[in-house]
Amino acid sequence: MALKRETKNKQIPIVKRPLTSWVFDGNLKLQILLVAIILLTVAIRVIPLEMQKRIVNEAINLRKLDLLAIYCGIYLASVILASSLKLAINIIQTKISQKVTAQMRQQLYHHILTMPLNFFRNTQPGTVVNSLINELTIPGNFVGMALAVPLTNIVTLLAFFGYLLVLNPILAVISFSIYPAMLYIIPLLQKRVNQNNIQRVNLSRKLSSKIVESIAGIHEVQANGAFAIENNKFDAIVDSLMKIRIKWSINKFIIKVVSNFFINLGPFSIFIVGGYLAIKGQLGLGALVAFLSAQEKLYDPWKELIEFYQVYQDGKINYSKTMNYFDVDIANELIPKDREPYELDVAINVENMSLETAEGIKLLDNINLKINSGEHIALVGFSGSGKSSLALCLAQLYSYTSGHATIGGKEISDLTKADITKNIGLVSQSPFIFDGTIKANLMYSYTALHGEECVMEGDCAPELDGLVHVLQHSGLFVDVLRFGLNTIVEKRAEEFIPVIIKMRENFQKEFGDSIYEWVEFFDEKQFLSYANLADNIIFGAPVSKNFKNKNLVKNKFFRDFLDDSDLTRPLLTLGREIADQTVDILKNITHDKMFFEQTPIELEEFEKFENLVREIKNRNLHQINKEQTIALLELALRFSPGKHRIATIPEFMIKLILEGRYMFREKIKQKDPYAIAFFRSDQYIHSQTISNNILFGIVKTTNPIAQEKINQFIIALLIGEDFLEKMIEIGMDFEVGTKGNNLSGGQRQKLAIARTFLKSPPIMILDEATSALDNKSQTRIQNVLSRQWKGKSTLIAVVHRLDIVKEYDKVVFLKAGKIVEMGSYDELMEKKGYFYELAHEHR
């Protein structure tokens, strides 16, 4: 089981771990290495001080150049070595910090996924996101610094103090006398910083939640024009966060200013006392230089200690706030201890079960229900009657507050998540579809049950036939096939190009006559009435962006070609005619997209062409400017004779276009041979979909009956070439988008049903799982449930369409959280009670 591997060697829950527990956890070897490098670094950092003293007292005073060279060399070597070791320390610190931050995020994320659903009802996703991404950064940084920074700087201070004691005990004591005062004052100032930081963390969470809420509800915001409301909410939080961050930053700066003040007192005391001793001859000049240098160097370790103290305080607050927020008891263990998950006898027994909210509202009240193995039960009732609550209690997603509910004699509340997921498959009314492919979502429940390793290595991966089977049963098969046919598969096309080309030939040969009125097939010798003039000239799919429709007329190469092929003037004439006719006919008509179907001019650009017609009204074509020329050429090239009835194309122009087609192909091969994928009956068009490659033409009509007929012919070819399953494989690679946004609501429900069918659980719970489907699709799935799953799986279904409950063994009617009627469909209709009334309301 995947859950078992994930929780192996279970440790203390992350929300119970103190921040300091991370310092050595998994980092012991790196921390020991750090200590060794730090001690060596501190020893080396004292050497430059001694060299300064000797350079002044021995090399300079005695005027010995050899000693000057030796001492300067040692000084330089010690500085280089100390800098290199400091870099090594920083690298190890960073590695520890990033490693621990990653572990914190992983463990907290793993914990969050197991938390009760009630927690997520009261928690905005933005709070969770902010906690995982932002609030664990500072604690992670602290762990990286926890040993290295204090050890480095404390040992450095002690080493310098010891060295200065040797030089002059009195001056050494005076130099270090300022630090006890700092150790008292700085923590007092830090308390205000901590209070500000707590407020900052809370407001940051609130801001993240507000952003997520606005994005999630963007449909409501835009539909109601509630921009001002949401802007005011957001602005208020941002203003509050700005003010508290200003206070937080100012108080941190105050600590730095106070620290700098005390540190600058050090050189002052050295100048007063040391200068006096030097004048009196009681302190050598070299020793005074060493003292001043040491005093300057003391600033860095002390500064780092102050910064470390602030990071520790900030990290401690962030860490404790985050962990306390997510410190919620987990209702059920993930995996069983010392046993495999149960394979339960799936008979379900509910006795006096109730579900009550924290506010005392009873969602379920004294439920008693017995479901035999393999029995199909329909839960019906008015909205808010408790149907879904009952289903989710049986799925262990809600925790009932009193009474008993058992599966195979085992109390549901005592079972682990692994026990539940092994025996139950759930489809909700609004199933969540994860970003990725259809196949990944289809395999989701199956993979969770069997484990990723087993599925990925092929030991328990389902066969393609099994995937196709559940797609058919859920009604998603046709959708996936369409996704496959509408896929552009450049990278994988080579392996089946011959098959597609063969299907293209067979399609025209076998079905060409039947669909001639619906499809205009590509033929390089024929003008295409349902293609625009640009496509007729190019007769291919542009690969280079310079030859895409929007850029075509702006392309100098193409404009030169139009001149050479004598097409420029006819196209300008046609463009002018289209513009004149469209403006003349539509200028006094209420603008609606329907009226623009007969012209290549779009509704949004009508005003632009209305102005153009006015500007060129009394001008000859050679008198119009470049911008106007491009506009008319672009309009003419968008003209499709079969679709647009606003103008007609003269016969001589058709001949010019067909001649120009060959001329363009010759010229472009010399200029840029890979710019266009030309339409040739014996070549695959990599920039087009598989469907377009098979069709190799243009569909003339939007009639759904015609489109369905064409699809049937294509499917027949796929079956004939034994290529249908391959197309399904390609279709299953379709990217569904964030939350399945590339799928319709019905497709999302069918995908959720299919993944539960693939899991093949002993118990299926369907919570209005077909509510987004049309009647035909719902009936289809109900027939599958009745034929394929009755007696095989126990089924509990929350049903909103009462005409399909005839297929269920038992109908349970709930009202106000209570079961008020129970029996077969016929029994309840004969009783003429609540169910009878509801059934008649739906007729």
**Using the 8-state DSSP alphabet, how is residue 207 labeled?**
H
Q: Would you tell me the crossing angle of helices 169-176 and 148-167 to the nearest 10 degrees?
A: 150
* 640 dihedral zone (left: phi>0; alpha: psi -120 to 50; beta): beta
Q: Does 338 reside within a domain?
A: no
Give CA–CA dist 186/788, Å, rounded: 74
pLDDT tens track for 130-174:
888 888 888 888 888 888 788 887 777 777 777 777 777 777 776
Q: Are residues 527 and 671 in the same domain?
A: yes
Q: Does 771 reside within a domain?
A: no
User: Could you give the number of structural domains in the chain?
Assistant: 3
Q: Which residues pair with 379 in a beta bridge?
A: 798, 812
The pair of three-digit structure tokens given for residue 564, joined into one six-digit string: 């050479």
Buried b (16+ CB within 10 A) or exposed e, 394-417: bbbbbebbebebbbbeeebeebbb
Reported in sequence order, the residue ranges of 567-650 that DSSP labels E, i.e. its strands, are: none
Q: Which residue ranges of the chain lie beneath pLDDT 50? A: 1-10
Q: What pLDDT, on the 0 to 100 scale, is given for residue 611?
A: 92
Q: Are residues 271 and 353 in the same domain?
A: no
Q: Which residue has the tokens 């799925």?
A: 395
Q: Are residues 420 and 551 in the same domain?
A: no
Question: Residue 124: which of 196, 197, 215, 201 has the closest Cα?
Answer: 215
For the CA atoms of 555, 559, 560, 565, the dihedral, rounded to the nearest 10 degrees, stands at: 140
Burial label, 85 (beta-carbon count in 10 A; 0-12, 13-18, 19+):
middle
Q: Is 475 helix (H, G, I), strand (E, B) or coil?
A: coil
Give CA–CA dist 342/423, Å, rounded: 8
Quote the distance between the C-alpha of residue 170 and its chain's center.
64
The last residue of one of the domains, among 616, 649, 678, is 678
Q: Are residues 320 and 419 in the same domain?
A: no
Q: What pLDDT, on the 0 to 100 scale, is given for residue 797?
A: 94
Burial label, 130 (beta-carbon count in 10 A; 0-12, 13-18, 19+):
buried
Instruction: Give the CATH number for residue 376.
Output: 3.40.50.300
Q: Are residues 655 and 797 in the same domain?
A: no
Q: Are residues 159 and 107 in the same domain?
A: yes
Q: Are residues 104 and 191 in the same domain?
A: yes
Give CA–CA dist 750/772, Å, rounded: 9
Q: Which residues pair with 367 in a beta bridge?
A: 353
Q: What pLDDT, on the 0 to 100 scale, is given for residue 492?
A: 61
Q: Are residues 656 and 799 in the same domain?
A: no
Instruction: Give the CATH number for residue 135.
Output: 1.20.1560.10
Q: Does 540 reside within a domain?
A: yes
Q: Does 398 reside within a domain?
A: yes
Structural domain of 594: 523-678
Q: What pLDDT, on the 0 to 100 scale, is given for residue 622?
A: 86
Q: Which residue has the tokens 């003040």?
A: 261
Give CA–CA dist 677/615, Å, rounded: 38
Q: Does 684 reside within a domain?
A: no
- Residues 633, 574 contacting (CB under 8 angstroms): no
Q: Does 455 reside within a domain?
A: no
- Residues 385, 817 contacting (CB under 8 angstroms): yes
Q: Does 733 reside within a domain?
A: no
Q: What pLDDT, on the 0 to 100 scale, is given for residue 751?
A: 95
Q: What pLDDT, on the 0 to 100 scale, is given for residue 548?
A: 82
For the CA atoms of 418, 419, 421, 427, the dihedral, rounded to the nearest 10 degrees, stands at: -150
This prediction has a pTM of 0.76
Q: Which residues contact 611 (CB under 8 A, 6 or more apart)?
A: none
For the CA atoms of 181, 187, 191, 196, the dihedral, rounded to the nearest 10 degrees, stands at: 100
Q: Are residues 546 and 639 in the same domain?
A: yes
The last residue of one of the domains, among 326, 359, 380, is 326
Q: Does 305 reside within a domain?
A: yes
Q: Are residues 189 and 288 in the same domain?
A: yes
The last residue of one of the domains, among 678, 712, 744, is 678
Q: Is 355 helix (H, G, I), strand (E, B) or coil?
A: strand
Q: Which amino acid is at 181?
A: A
The pair of three-digit structure tokens given for residue 117, joined into one six-digit string: 């659903």
Give CA–CA dist 302/287, Å, rounded: 22
Q: Are residues 236 and 159 in the same domain?
A: yes
Name the phi and psi angles at 289, rounded to 5: -60, -45
How does strand 519-521 pair with strand 540-542? unpaired
Q: Are residues 281 and 137 in the same domain?
A: yes
